[in-house]
Structure 1
């Protein structure tokens, strides 16, 4: 801003901002997952979204120590998150809705206790939380840390006495929570007959603890070989098992508490969402089909209302026309068409893939299990964004980690599903498994928003321009500002056109930016408003490739 107060003669240097500010594209490949996990530990909390950047980090938050991260009741969320990372997914947010199916019997305390092992990987001690009065939340507040460190026998009372020999069997236990030390127990041994002047039997000493109960796993051997290995371990409360009646409310969550689905939708950077364990709840009779439809409708509506840059990928339920759940292998294309007609919810912010996919199940010796495809599909979306761009349709690509399909769809059957917006996953000879569809669930006659890539490209442009023009707010609303805004947006769109995201032989054919007195009148300026009109021509996928052949004679 030039100065207006020049009083003394001289030379003045001023910095004037004349250039346009570049718009940086927003991230479009961050997913949100909702479902069951094996555990909830560390900084993660039940029902609250947690940022996860790798499969190893997922194991830190949502798997038991030393576990593979999958569950004994075959929850679909771990498979979906694993498929996300296998297919090139980066950051994602995970909201755990429980570690057990609603209505199931809670495991006995000895099963959920922390089991410490020796350096030779043999059982040593087990730690379990003591139930506190009035503590019924079972959440992360009850978690404590148990640290095992080196120790030595007690020194003799007399300074002149010779100290006892350190056999290496003694250790120290420190109980803490959130970095605050709660209790310490020193000179512990795994020998029940340890001499009192040397130390204390670990189980006997820890009986005085106000926070944990301890049991000796009674592995045979000498005290040194039975000593727990040094390290810091987390003792978790027993899992909270929700009731089937309360489960839909837990899934919905509370917006102010940032829990459940509401919590995922409060994360601004999430651009794609899926709920794989909605199908697990349906298959196990926790939810009926109408309840499934209600949750699907809620997710679609929140994508439409909260932000224009989010899409939800729905999974087809394993049913035949609204009846009881069946095996995914029994769900034929006509059943999915009938189900979608009964669900009757259309939106450009939703997508659907069929059939279910077959992946290895580590909890069953690597034998295959059929799971909903959404997690793997979102990974392909992310990979396509990074390798080609958001304008490239995430189709005609191979989903990694998939070894088979629940049903082999042929061309005639896809001719039934594709016009309805159901994207097929098919197997082709010598080409493997391919994603053979790129449509949204918009109304079939709404061709403008038919393709996933077009919807996501427009969302990318809209959100990038919105965030990249925040500097305009409260600037003087005059012709100079109009020109600067026009240059800023035009430069961003021209860069997209040169990358191939917009269609046109020239930039003028690919987009236009209008910000002048024809749309910014005196009345609108008096109201403090600045209008910028932007039109773009997105590229669309070549879904149907038609060659026209005819006989040709050079003499004609």
Structure 2
């Protein structure tokens, strides 16, 4: 920057910022899921969101070791997440609301939490069991690391025992706190006392775990447990049915449940597929389901009330109840739910996918996860301005109901997006509308709502440099230039309609919008208008007979 003081004669070199700072577009394809999982481990916590970037990572956090990630009680969230990744989805945040249905009968004698650690050749060597009195305190970690033979006592003559590599240390930790530590351990059942201690003997009096030697015969080095950190977690208790709905809603300050996942700023689309699983199991009635749906829609609209201090750049994908199989049934349900919003979308019917827990036989699941994957795929391949419709949802082998043209004429005008099967064209998403009131035509399409959200959020983040700058005409010009360059870039990509940039958008920031009285209050007003492209939902060819000879005459 330019200096304000010059005292000694000389040549001064100064760096000056010129031009505008480019606005970088925000990510539009980050999903949030709330539902049941098979397990919660490896640092994931019940009711708290965890970032997942692929299906393998999902298995690490929410599946038992060696499992395929699906559940014995057919939870819908694993199907939704699997479909999301299969259809091109990228990052997503997942909140587990349990590993079993509330009210499921528990075994008369609860099985203690057990961890088995393997050694060389992946052969089991040590088994740890969490003591019952510690189960209520939560997860502990077993850390196995290198150690050495016990050194000779000070002043003792003789050669120090050789380090054969069989020695190890066990730490029992909870979070960052070390609860117990045992050093100079070996798998030799009869070691020299002055050299090392047999691991089972050393941990016999542990306050936290019981230990067993499950190794086969062999040398101590071959039976030594592999280094690493291992998680020993107590069994996850299901929420009582009478408070399950409250736990799903969650607490914002604790970052739990639905309210907690909304605290993740980068999420742009949300779904809770297991609302319907809980409803099918009788854990929640239809009014409770409507309550959670209403909460999710209202949270997407939250910027207007100040509940969420971010621009409205999120949408929620809703699922109809499982008993709404026929078109008139889903219409009646939507009239009963009676919630309209430009930040919600509804897809019908449910889809058939293979169920790995039932030999690959088909199961009907809510379509929300597959749909959000298509949203992400369309954003990546075409752009957020392209309607996510006339696309094939991958992994779908059938539909709960085959909707025809006349039936869609009933559903489409009220915002119910159909998934249809066409001869020789496969199964396709055949709708791109929001659940906004039918008379608000400017917010009718999902792509328009998401494009405007993308523009709003990108401009918000890309103009933070203007805060506390001198509020003068130079700042006005720089802001106009910055925003105009961004809008011109997305116009060239095809997101805005117009033959020229002047037809596609305008940016106004001048003395008319910023009179002295607003400048005294420390405010800078910029007015932006855009003309988004809209999908060609109805393609109409007008055909008539034409006589070229008569017209020529």
Q: TM-score range by the shorter chain?
A: 0.7 to 0.9
| Counterpart secondary structure, 1:94 | strand
Structure 2: 5+ residue runs without aligned partners?
Answer: 303-307
| Counterpart secondary structure, 2:182 | strand
When residues 187 and 122 of structure 1 are mapped into structure 2, their CA distance, relative to the original with a 3 A threshold, is closer
Who is 1:308 aligned against?
312
Distance 1:485 1:106 in 2: 62
| Post-superposition CA distance 1:338-390 (Å, at most 9, x none) | 10000000000001111111112222222222111111111111111110000
Shift of 1:110: 3.5
Who is 1:327 aligned against?
none
Contact 1:106/1:239, CA 8 A, preserved across alignment: no
Who is 2:393 aligned against?
399
Stretch moving more, 389-398 or 1-10: 1-10
Distance 1:484 1:283 in 2: 57
Q: Does 2:264 align with 1:267?
A: yes
- Once superposed, what is the RMSD of the aligned Cα atoms? 3.1
Who is 1:434 aligned against?
428
Who is 2:130 aligned against?
129
Distance 1:9 1:117 in 2: 75
Contact 1:423/1:436, CA 8 A, preserved across alignment: yes
Who is 1:450 aligned against?
444
Contact 1:148/1:231, CA 8 A, preserved across alignment: yes
Shift of 1:548: 1.0
Shift of 1:223: 6.4
Contact 2:182/2:202, CA 8 A, preserved across alignment: no
Who is 2:22 aligned against?
22
| Counterpart secondary structure, 2:58 | helix
Stretch moving more, 380-389 or 246-255: 246-255
Who is 1:380 aligned against?
374
Q: Does 2:204 align with 1:211?
A: no
Distance 1:13 1:196 in 2: 74
Shift of 1:128: 2.4
Contact 1:207/1:213, CA 8 A, preserved across alignment: yes
Who is 1:79 aligned against?
79
Who is 1:282 aligned against?
279
Structure 1: 5+ residue runs without aligned partners?
Answer: 321-330
Shift of 1:188: 3.4
| Post-superposition CA distance 1:18-55 (Å, at most 9, x none) | 31111111111111111111111122111111111111
Who is 2:334 aligned against?
340
Distance 1:248 1:90 in 2: 29
When residues 127 and 148 of structure 1 are mapped into structure 2, their CA distance, relative to the original with a 3 A threshold, is farther
Contact 2:190/2:198, CA 8 A, preserved across alignment: no
Who is 1:326 aligned against?
none
When residues 430 and 216 of structure 1 are mapped into structure 2, their CA distance, relative to the original with a 3 A threshold, is farther
Shift of 1:311: 0.5
Who is 1:32 aligned against?
32
| Counterpart secondary structure, 1:358 | strand
| Counterpart secondary structure, 1:492 | helix
Who is 2:305 aligned against?
none
Who is 1:104 aligned against?
104
Distance 1:66 1:228 in 2: 23
Who is 2:234 aligned against?
237
The TM-score, its normalising length taken from structure 1, stands at 0.87
Distance 1:404 1:204 in 2: 59
Distance 1:438 1:37 in 2: 30
Stretch moving more, 118-127 or 393-402: 118-127
| Counterpart secondary structure, 1:300 | helix
Distance 2:21 2:199 in 1: 66
When residues 12 and 159 of structure 1 are mapped into structure 2, their CA distance, relative to the original with a 3 A threshold, is closer
Shift of 1:14: 3.2
Distance 1:173 1:364 in 2: 44
Distance 1:444 1:471 in 2: 40
Contact 2:351/2:365, CA 8 A, preserved across alignment: yes
Contact 2:167/2:186, CA 8 A, preserved across alignment: yes
When residues 20 and 202 of structure 1 are mapped into structure 2, their CA distance, relative to the original with a 3 A threshold, is closer
Shift of 1:2: 3.7
The TM-score, its normalising length taken from structure 2, stands at 0.87
| Post-superposition CA distance 1:488-524 (Å, at most 9, x none) | 1111101111100000011111001111111111211
| Counterpart secondary structure, 1:424 | strand
Who is 1:468 aligned against?
462
